[in-house]
Structure 1
Amino acid sequence: MEEGKLGTNMKRILLLINCLFLSVGVCGGPLMMRLYFVEGGARLWFNSWLQTGGWPLTFIPLTILYFYRQKSEGSDTKFYFITPRIFVASFLIGVLTGLDAYLYSWGGSKLPVSTSSLLLAPQLAFTAIGAYFIVKQKFTSYSINAVVLLIVGAVLLGIRANGDRPEGVTSKEYAIGFIMTALAAALYGVILPFIELIYVKVKQAITVTLVLEIQMVMCFAATAFCTIGMIANKDFQAISREAKQYNLGEARYYIVVIWSAIIWQCFFVGAVGVIYLSSSLMSGVLIAVLLPVTEVLGVIFFNEKFSGEKGLSLFLSLWGFVSYFYGEFKQTKKLKNKNQENEMAKMQNEHV
């Protein structure tokens, strides 16, 4: 299952699967967060904890991969590939992820989904800048066009953000929530290229198992960070009381909590998977292009307004999405033709 041994078709299949995971997380995560707060939830650290608390679920695919390898490798099969150096790097990135989750929860508690999703606009910009400086990501005219269109489309959503202030939220709380969301965007935009940097710098084969291990350590570290916050804020003692007072009922409170953890875990698995199979920039682009979908879902489930700015944003985002993947298609085709030409030249030289 090493990266170099993954065939083109297998890589495409895995990329598609990870894109689906990421889509579920990007669209479903903010909706579950908003549902938690709208119906009476108020624990910021607990909600932050839920964003990465599903990390034990990663043991399921890791176990499946272990038994898959055991069939061909026998009793000498390694259960894990992560080294102390990679563990430390992943753990540190995970702590930053925990901080990012808290900032995002703060914003999500005060902003509607349609506004908190503005997080994705500056995030893409920071991902693009970070990818350029951290992992030397090469830009094409198509990727630059995509980044610009997606950012402009997302920023358009903020033109009428003031009119979206939820009932019961003061102007000051709304402003702080907006700032927290922007900070979360900047932080996570830099986190994505750092994940890619781990793949670039490791001195061993990058396998699917190693990618999942990195993701699991990151989420474990983020969860540990948020657990400290929960202990300091006495959230553990408040959960049962909050469940009993939840507007949808105690049983549904726990259903919301459990599914929040599962859906957010889809986000993190998908994000690191897309970075592994493609790049941090593509992960950022895919997250950004799903912004309008999240906006529409916010309108459907929480009766938020769908303005003309949101419609224009949807158009620009889809245009940016098509532009990016058309550029990727052309690059792949160009590289394939170049490889074929090199092979033919090599065969001719050998014949001579």
Structure 2
Amino acid sequence: MEVESHVSGQRDIHERENKRTKLILKRSVLYINCVLLAIGTCGGPLLLRLYFVHGGKRIWLSSWLETAGFPVMIVPLVVFYFLRRKNSSEGTRSKPFIITWRLFVGNMFLGILIGVDNYLYSSGAAKLPVSTSSLLVSTQLAFTAGFSFLIVKQKFTSYSINAVVLLIVAAIILGLHSSGDRPDGVSNKEYYIGFIMTLAAAVLYGFFLPATELMYKKTKQGITYSLVLEMQVVMSMFATAFCTVGMLVNKDFQAIPREAREYGIGEAKYYLVLVMSALAWQFYFLGAIGAIFCASSLFSGIMVSVLLPVTGILGVIFYKEEFTSEKGVALALSIWGFISYFYGEIKQSKKQTPPNTEVLDSTTDAAANSLNHDYEIERRNGGSFRHSTSIRVAPG
């Protein structure tokens, strides 16, 4: 009896230590991804606007920059591959990629969709202040809710309907009364074209999230962090390819040296702006998918939604943009809409969650297990990488 009690006590201590280690790991990974997401959400639009403010005029080039930094994600993928090869029963025969052909094709089409979205967003960013474009992009939450209802049969609540109405009203207020903040050299016609293009980008991105959710539901493959990175690389690769075709047709590659020489703050800083912009957008993508995997898509959406008004305020600070009363009203309505939507989502998730469980902890536990025990999963499946964790891309 004493021996059994001693063994049981040792087992309990070991389980507590493992739980504490996983908790530290999951929080560390989540915090890192939140920092990356904050840098990308705020830095990407600000650097893109900096390119246009000082003389940049190439829409396809700026669109290309939003995904062209995807090779940086190859580094963690190589690390994951060597870990799999080291701990796999197949050894050097372990597959370098775990994405299936069906999932590859799905992500290819989503990548082209992102390329179109990048072009629309860059076209709007060339003609609108950061503060205005950020508020317009925030309306994607309303479009996400609508497309989720149509594509994945997402149920509407009174909170989500309220959020949709508030965000639409905010966009209408900006469209009717805020043209007075248009940048120098931009005509009223160009301003409203930029307004429409940015709104169209928000609509397309609103479609992208439910489409991604549908793809996850249809796939037969288990979702892991390394697989998510591979999918992001595939999407970014095809989005970049789409924008590269536009650059070739528009002769942007030939125009880069000339544009650099004429850039308002110098040739060296021109190239620095391009490189930093590409990195900032990759931080955004890495942070977003990392937050989804370590917590949930709802948490990732909350982070982006909270940061968008911050981006608008930073635009006012750094670029001396006019913060009109209409923008203030639109900002208040947008924040109200966010709070309403996410409060409704949280209430809904609590109804669907069994008592005494925490959604965030359960999902981040799964992420930590995936990061810690890939080799065990690999060995059990004879080298075939699988995981029970699934990523649900919910509205927001």
**What TM bracket, shorter-length normalisation?**
0.7 to 0.9
Check the 8 A contact 2:138/2:334 in 1, yes or no: no
Aligned to 1:126: 143
Q: Counterparts in 2 of 1:225-240, with a 5 A limit?
A: 225-240=242-257
Aligned to 1:350: none
Aligned to 1:85: 102
3-state SS in 2 of match to 1:337: coil
Residues 120 and 314 from structure 1, CA distance in 2 versus in 1: closer, same or farther, beyond 3 angstroms? Answer: same
Check the 8 A contact 2:132/2:327 in 1, yes or no: no
Residues 332 and 16 from structure 1, CA distance in 2 versus in 1: closer, same or farther, beyond 3 angstroms? Answer: farther
Distance in 1 separating the partners of 2:209 and 2:335:
22
Q: Deviation at 1:219?
A: 0.6
Aligned to 1:73: 88
Deviations 1:325-350 (A, max 9, x none): 5555555555140779xxxxxxxxxx
Check the 8 A contact 2:69/2:279 in 1, yes or no: yes
The answer to which of 24-33 and 326-335 deviates more is: 326-335
Residue 47 of structure 2 is aligned to residue 32 of structure 1: yes
3-state SS in 1 of match to 2:139: helix
Aligned to 2:369: none
3-state SS in 1 of match to 2:355: helix
Residues 323 and 183 from structure 1, CA distance in 2 versus in 1: closer, same or farther, beyond 3 angstroms? Answer: closer
Q: Counterparts in 2 of 1:1-352, with a 5 A limit?
A: 14-70=29-85, 72-73=87-88, 75=91, 77-149=94-166, 152-153=169-170, 156-276=173-293, 283-327=300-344, 329-330=346-347, 334=351, 335-337=353-355
Distance in 2 separating the partners of 1:187 and 1:79:
33
What letter is aligned with 1:215?
A: Q
Aligned to 2:12: none
The answer to which of 293-302 and 260-269 deviates more is: 260-269
3-state SS in 2 of match to 1:211: helix
Deviations 1:88-121 (A, max 9, x none): 1111111111111111111111111122224324
Distance in 1 separating the partners of 2:114 and 2:190:
23
5+ residue gaps, structure 2, are 1-21, 359-396
Aligned to 2:379: none
Distance in 2 separating the partners of 1:290 and 1:245:
33
What letter is aligned with 1:182?
A: L
Deviations 1:229-265 (A, max 9, x none): 1111111111111111111101101110000000111
Q: Deviation at 1:160?
A: 3.0
Check the 8 A contact 2:178/2:324 in 1, yes or no: no
What letter is aligned with 2:251?
A: K
Q: Deviation at 1:12?
A: 6.2
Q: Deviation at 1:62?
A: 1.3
The total of aligned residue pairs comes to 334
Residues 197 and 11 from structure 1, CA distance in 2 versus in 1: closer, same or farther, beyond 3 angstroms? Answer: farther
Residues 119 and 64 from structure 1, CA distance in 2 versus in 1: closer, same or farther, beyond 3 angstroms? Answer: farther
Q: Deviation at 1:178?
A: 1.5
3-state SS in 1 of match to 2:265: coil
Larger radius of gyration: 2
The CA RMSD measured in Å over matched residues stands at 2.9
5+ residue gaps, structure 1, are 1-6, 341-352
The answer to which of 199-208 and 330-339 deviates more is: 330-339
Check the 8 A contact 2:135/2:334 in 1, yes or no: no
What letter is aligned with 1:200?
A: K
Q: Deviation at 1:131?
A: 2.0
Distance in 1 separating the partners of 2:306 and 2:36:
15
Distance in 1 separating the partners of 2:135 and 2:98:
37
Distance in 1 separating the partners of 2:114 and 2:182:
27
3-state SS in 2 of match to 1:127: helix
Q: Deviation at 1:21?
A: 2.9
3-state SS in 2 of match to 1:184: helix
The answer to which of 212-221 and 143-152 deviates more is: 143-152
Check the 8 A contact 1:25/1:263 in 2, yes or no: yes
Residues 48 and 275 from structure 1, CA distance in 2 versus in 1: closer, same or farther, beyond 3 angstroms? Answer: same
Distance in 2 separating the partners of 1:9 and 1:214:
27
Check the 8 A contact 1:94/1:218 in 2, yes or no: yes
Distance in 1 separating the partners of 2:246 and 2:223:
34
**Identity over aligned residues, as a percent?**
58
Distance in 2 separating the partners of 1:339 and 1:293:
32
What letter is aligned with 1:192?
A: L
What letter is aligned with 1:58?
A: M
Residues 178 and 310 from structure 1, CA distance in 2 versus in 1: closer, same or farther, beyond 3 angstroms? Answer: closer
